[in-house]
Structure 1
C-alpha cells in the first residue's frame, strides 16, 4: 500500500516548486570548443558594448561584507546546501573559448556575494541562493522581501545582516510572487508563532497560496525532470560545464518551507502601513508568475517590480515547462508602473541581480523591459497574421539595436527565440495550420522511417560528420536525433549528437539553453545518472494544499485504460477540519463532489495531520488504519481496486533517447 498511496502526493516541484538536485560531477567527456565555436564567441565582442562597466560598478555599490565561510552554507547536519565558491573559477578571468562572452560577463557580475546597502534603510544579501533577499528597516524592526529557496540560506542571510545592522526583530515578510525561490526560506527568518500572534505580518498577492502550491503539482514530475537540465544540476561547474542560470548562480538544496500570508493584496492602488512605512501595490498576475505584484515604498522612494524588470530578458515560457506567460500583460504592468511611480522612484530593486539608482536610469530600465516584451508580442503576431509559422517567426524576428545592445535585455535566462514561440503558443497553440503537421508520427516512430529514407544510420552519420566539421551544429543535432530515436544503442550517433549539442551549449548566451545542451550531451555519453532529489513536497507545502487540489492531482494518476469499466464510489472525510467529499471513479475519470454519497462502496475518515503524513510518505494508510487514526468502512476491496488504477511516475525518464512504449 505504501508505494501506491505515496503516488498520491507525487512530486510538487518546479522553480515554482523545482526539483533542486544537488550538483554532482559525474564521469564526463567534454570536448574543447571547435574553431567555429571559438570564432562565433569572439564575434560577440564586436556586437555588444563590453567597454561599458556601469553594471560592474552598480553590482559592487554599497558593499558592506562578504558571505562568511567563502559562501558555503550548511544545514544542521553539516551538509552543504549552497556553495558560492564553486563559481569562483570565472573571477577576473577573460571568457574562455567554450563560453559565450556575454553569458560569462553575466556570471562575473553575480560572483560578489554578501551584504549590500541599497539605500539607507534598505539592504540586500545577494548570491547566497538563486534569489537575493532584501531587508527594509522601519520604525521598530525589519521587513524582509522574498526569503529565498531554503530556510538555511535565508537564516544565513539574516545572520549576516544582523551582524552589521544590529539584532532588529523581523516584523514583516513580503512575498512578491508565487515561485518557491521567493518564499521557501521563510522559516529561517521567522517563527510561525510570531505570525499567528500578530507580531509578524506576511504580505502576498491574491492567489498566492493556490499558485505557490499548484503551479507545478499536476505536471510536477515532468517539470522536475526537465528542471535537472534547465538549472544544470548534473553539470560540474566550470568553463566546459555549468555557469548558473543567468537569473542567478544556482539553486540551494536546503529545507523548503512555507508560512501562509496574513495580509492579502487584492487590487492595484491598495496601500499598507507596515512598521512606519507606506507600501503601495500594483497587481501583476499572469506576468512572470500567475500571482505577482509590484510595490513602492513612499517614504523611501523605492520601487520593487518583483521579477518583471531584472538584468535579463526573462522567460515568457520556462524551459522546465509551465503555463505560457502573457507578454502583452507583462508589458502593460510595466507601463502602469511607469505612469504611477516612474517620476518618483529613486531606486529600483528586485529579488534577482543588483539595483538601479536614479530616476532617469529607472525610467530607461522600465521602458526597455516594457518594450522588449511588447516587441516580442507584437512582432510575433504581425508575422503570424502575414502567414508565417512559429519556427519561421523565431528565425525572422530581429531585436532593434537600441534593445539588442542594452545589457538588461539580453537573453541570459529567457531568449528571443523561445519567447517568440511562447507568444505564438499563447495565442495560437502548437499547430501551425499545415495539415501535414497535424498528425505527424511521434519521434520514436518517425526516426526509423527518416533513417531508412536517408540511406541508413551509417550514411547519415558520415554526412553529419561533414556538417559538424562545417559548423552546422543545429542541423547535425536535428538529423542525428532521428538516428538516435531509430537506434538508441548506436553510440557513434549518440556521441556525434553529443558533440553537436556541446558546441551549441558553448555558444549559447542563455544559461538555461547552455544547461540543456550540455546536460543532453552528458546523458547521451554517459546515460541517465540518478542523483539525490530532495522532496520539496515539504510539510508546509502539503499543509497548505487544499483537499480539492489533492483530489485533482490524484486524478492525474488514474490510468484511463485500467479504470475503464469500473464504477467505484468513495467518501473522504477529514475529521478535524470537517471537510467531506464524495469521490467517484467512473468513465475512466476521477471526480469529486462537495457532499458525500448516501451510498458509497467505501468510506475513509482521517484527521488532516494524519492524512498529511500519508501524503508525505511518512506513513501508509494501512499504518493509520491499524493504529486507529484512520477509519475505513465498507468494502475495502473496492478501495484496493481503486488503488490498482493509479500509476506511479518514474522520475529519471530519458530525455534525449526514446522512452519505451507502455
Structure 2
C-alpha cells in the first residue's frame, strides 16, 4: 500500500510539474515589463517629441552634422561614480594588489626565498609598466626577481600585458615560468580567431570612442587600456592538466607551495590559487562584488552559470582568511569571506534555478526576465548591485546555454526579419502614425517600446531625421537609467556610431595580420565571397617558407585548407614567409600584408611563384572578401 501511495505521489508531482508547460497568454501574475519606466524618477524630464501629425510634419531637427559634444550635451550624469585613485593595497602576509591601474588588478606574492609570483597581467603593456613601477616602489618588493607568472583565465585583461612582466630587467635574463590551465592557450586562440566581429562589441561595451563625459568609467578602471599588444605574446610554459573537477595540482615556487584548483563556469580554463600557509585564496573571477557578468555583451557563448555558482561555493569551502579576485577589492576575515561567498553563490544559483524552472514551463527568453528577479534580501545586498552584470541578460544567457536561440514557440521558427517586420508595421499603421506612437512612448518614458518603433522607422528610411533623433534620445535616456556601466557604455557608443562621428570598425583584413597561423587560415576560410566562387574550382599551394605548407582548394563555394609536406606540381605555388616586417625594406613579399591592403595584389613578385604566374595568385585571392561590418552598422543594402 505504501508503495502504491508513493507511485501516486510521484505521478502527481510529475503532473504538477508539467501542467503549466504550455505557454500562451500572459500569466495573470506577470505585469508588463516596465523595468526602466519604473526607475524614471531618477532622471530629469527630457524635452518631449511632438505627438500630432502637424507636429511631426513641422519637426525641426536638433542636430545638423553634430559633434560628439553636441550629441551628448543633455546626458544626465547623476550616476557618476566618485573618482578613484590608483593605489596598492597591502594584505597582511606578503600579498599585494594593484587597484585601478587597469581593468584587471594584478596580485604579487613574495615567496620565502625573496622572489615574486605575479598573478594575472593587465590588458596592455603600458598599464603593465605602470603596475610594475608601482609594485617596485614598495620596499618589500623592490628589485626582487619575478619567478612565476600565473594566468587565471585567458581573457585579454589577464594576459595581454605580460611582456613587461616577463622581460623585466630585474629578472636578470631568467624568464619566469608561466602557469595556466591546459585549455588556456586554445581558448585565447579561439577568441582571437573571431575577434573581427567581437572587437566592435567590446569597444562599445567599454565606450572606447565616447568622451568624458558622458563616459564615466569601465568598472575596475577609468578606461579600459587597450594600448597593445592585441594578442598573447607570452604563452604559458607550464600547463596544468586536471583529470577531473576535484583534482588539485601543486607547484612549489620560491619555497612557497601553491595549489591550483579548476573552477570552470566563467571560462573553461579558470583556475584559483590557494596559498595554504597564508590562508590566502586568489579566486580569479569567481566573485565581482557586484552582480556577476553571467553573460557578456561583447559576445561569448552562454556561460555555465551552474558551474559558476559551484565554483564560488568551492572557493568558500577552503575557508580562507584572505580572499582576492582580479576585478574587486580583497576581503579579509574568515567569517566575512564565508558569508560573502556563500551568499554570492546562492544568488547565482537562484537566478539559474528559477530561469530553468520557467524554461520548463515553456516560457521564452524575452518573458522570463519579467518573472525571475532576485529575492529582496539578495537584491538589496550591495554585492548584487547591477553595476556590471544584469539580471535580464544573464537570464537570456542561461536560456541560450541550454537550448540555443530557439524559444520553443512555433512562431519563432521562421520569424520575419527585423527589416521586413518594420516595413510591414509601417504599412499597417502608416509612417506618420507610427512616429506619433513612438513619440508618445518616449514622452511616457516607455523607452524600450519607443526605441523599437523609432528603430523600425529609421532602418526603413535612414534619411528620416525625426526617427533618427527619436532613436538617439531614447538610447540616451535608457543609458541614463543604467546601473550597469557596460550597458550604459554600449547604448552611448551606439549613438556615436549612428551619427558616424566615430568609426568602430575592426577590419578583419588588418586584424588577421596579428593572428596565430591557424586563426589566419580560418579567417581566410570565413571570407570566401560566395557570390564570386559559385561554380568555381581552383587550387593554390601556400608555401610558408618559415612555417608550413598548405594546399588551398576552392570547391562547392567553400575553401578547404590542408597542411601538406611539400607543394605539388598540379597547381600554382606561392612561396612566401608568414612572419614579415613592413619596416624592413629588404624583407620578402608577405601574403598577409597583401590581403590587408598594404600593397596591391599586382605587386606579387614573379620570383615567389612556381608552376604558375603572379596573375594566378591575384586571381585566387580575388575570390575573398575582407569588407566586414560597415560604419553605422548592418544594412540590408550592404552586399
Task: Give the TM interval when normalised to the shorter protein.
Answer: 0.7 to 0.9
Verify: 1:589 aligned to 2:589, yes or no.
no
CA displacement, residues 237-293 of structure 1 (integer Å, 9 cap, x when unaligned): 23xx112233543211322252111111111401111112111111234x2234221
Verify: 1:499 aligned to 2:473, yes or no.
yes
Q: Match of 2:396?
A: 421
1:49-198 → structure 2 map (5 Å cutoff): 98=76, 101=79, 104=80, 107-108=81-82, 111-138=84-111, 139-165=113-139, 166-191=142-167
Aligned partner of residue 328 in structure 2, secondary structure: coil
Contact 2:196–2:507 at 8 Å: present in 1 too?
Answer: no
Verify: 1:360 aligned to 2:335, yes or no.
yes
Aligned partner of residue 390 in structure 1, secondary structure: coil
TM-superposed deviation, 1:384: 1.0
Contact 1:141–1:171 at 8 Å: present in 2 too?
Answer: yes
Q: Match of 1:444?
A: 419
User: Kindly tell me: are residues 610 and 311 of structure 1, through their superposed partners in 2, closer, same or farther at Cα, counting changes over 3 Å?
Assistant: same
Aligned partner of residue 109 in structure 2, secondary structure: strand
Verify: 1:237 aligned to 2:212, yes or no.
yes
Contact 1:347–1:355 at 8 Å: present in 2 too?
Answer: yes
User: Kindly tell me: are residues 157 and 548 of structure 1, through their superposed partners in 2, closer, same or farther at Cα, counting changes over 3 Å?
Assistant: closer
Aligned partner of residue 299 in structure 1, secondary structure: helix
Instruction: Provide the alpha-carbon RMSD of the alignment.
Output: 3.2
User: Kindly tell me: are residues 415 and 155 of structure 1, through their superposed partners in 2, closer, same or farther at Cα, counting changes over 3 Å?
Assistant: same
TM-superposed deviation, 1:213: 2.6
1:604-619 → structure 2 map (5 Å cutoff): 604-610=574-580, 614-615=591-592
Paired residue for 2:280, among 299, 302, 309? 302
CA displacement, residues 123-165 of structure 1 (integer Å, 9 cap, x when unaligned): 1211112221212111232121112011111111111111222
Alpha-carbon separation, structure 2, partners of 1:399 and 1:351: 25
Alpha-carbon separation, structure 1, partners of 2:556 and 2:543: 24
TM-superposed deviation, 1:195: 8.9
Whose relative contact order is higher, 1 or 2, with alpha carbons under 8 Å and at least 6 apart?
Answer: 1
Alpha-carbon separation, structure 1, partners of 2:37 and 2:538: 65
Contact 1:282–1:294 at 8 Å: present in 2 too?
Answer: yes
TM-superposed deviation, 1:478: 1.5
Alpha-carbon separation, structure 2, partners of 1:119 and 1:614: 54
Give the TM-score of the pair, scaled to structure 1.
Answer: 0.77
User: Kindly tell me: are residues 601 and 446 of structure 1, through their superposed partners in 2, closer, same or farther at Cα, counting changes over 3 Å?
Assistant: same
Q: Match of 1:283?
A: 262
Verify: 1:271 aligned to 2:224, yes or no.
no
Aligned pairs, number:
556
TM-superposed deviation, 1:301: 1.5
User: Kindly tell me: are residues 620 and 532 of structure 1, through their superposed partners in 2, closer, same or farther at Cα, counting changes over 3 Å?
Assistant: same
Alpha-carbon separation, structure 2, partners of 1:171 and 1:450: 64
Alpha-carbon separation, structure 2, partners of 1:637 and 1:623: 8
Aligned partner of residue 144 in structure 1, secondary structure: strand
Q: Which runs of 5+ in 1 are unaligned?
A: 1-33, 43-95
Q: Match of 2:16?
A: none
Q: Match of 1:11?
A: none
Contact 1:259–1:540 at 8 Å: present in 2 too?
Answer: no
Verify: 1:224 aligned to 2:193, yes or no.
no
Contact 1:505–1:515 at 8 Å: present in 2 too?
Answer: yes
Aligned partner of residue 579 in structure 2, secondary structure: helix
Contact 1:245–1:510 at 8 Å: present in 2 too?
Answer: no
Alpha-carbon separation, structure 2, partners of 1:308 and 1:383: 26
TM-superposed deviation, 1:614: 4.8
User: Kindly tell me: are residues 36 and 392 of structure 1, through their superposed partners in 2, closer, same or farther at Cα, counting changes over 3 Å?
Assistant: closer
Alpha-carbon separation, structure 2, partners of 1:611 and 1:602: 25
TM-superposed deviation, 1:619: 6.6
Alpha-carbon separation, structure 2, partners of 1:567 and 1:554: 16
Contact 2:283–2:323 at 8 Å: present in 1 too?
Answer: yes
User: Kindly tell me: are residues 369 and 641 of structure 1, through their superposed partners in 2, closer, same or farther at Cα, counting changes over 3 Å?
Assistant: farther
Give the TM-score of the pair, scaled to structure 2.
Answer: 0.80
User: Kindly tell me: are residues 231 and 199 of structure 1, through their superposed partners in 2, closer, same or farther at Cα, counting changes over 3 Å?
Assistant: closer
Q: Match of 2:620?
A: 642
Aligned partner of residue 355 in structure 1, secondary structure: strand
Contact 1:568–1:585 at 8 Å: present in 2 too?
Answer: yes
Alpha-carbon separation, structure 2, partners of 1:466 and 1:99: 25
Aligned partner of residue 172 in structure 1, secondary structure: strand
